[in-house]
Amino acid sequence: MTTKTSSYTFGTTIEAPFDEAVRRITEALKQEGFDVLTTIDVKATMKSKLN
């Protein structure tokens, strides 16, 4: 089996607390016509699944 991966990536650093960064990013996405369909709390999900 052959796995193809892309070498194109991008990223940025935001100097803000996590909750504020999420709010700012969500607002910026909305301004560009995108929306956040769902959010997943990985910590809570793992706790509920693994106790």
State the pTM of this model. 0.60
Mean pLDDT of 26-32: 95
* Distance from C-alpha of 26 to C-alpha of 3, rounded to nearest angstrom: 32
Q: Does 51 have pLDDT greater than 90?
A: no
* Distance from C-alpha of 20 to C-alpha of 26, rounded to nearest angstrom: 10
Question: pLDDT, tens digit, for every residue of 32-45?
Answer: 999 999 989 999 99
Q: What pLDDT was estimated at residue 16?
A: 96
* Distance from C-alpha of 36 to C-alpha of 16, rounded to nearest angstrom: 20
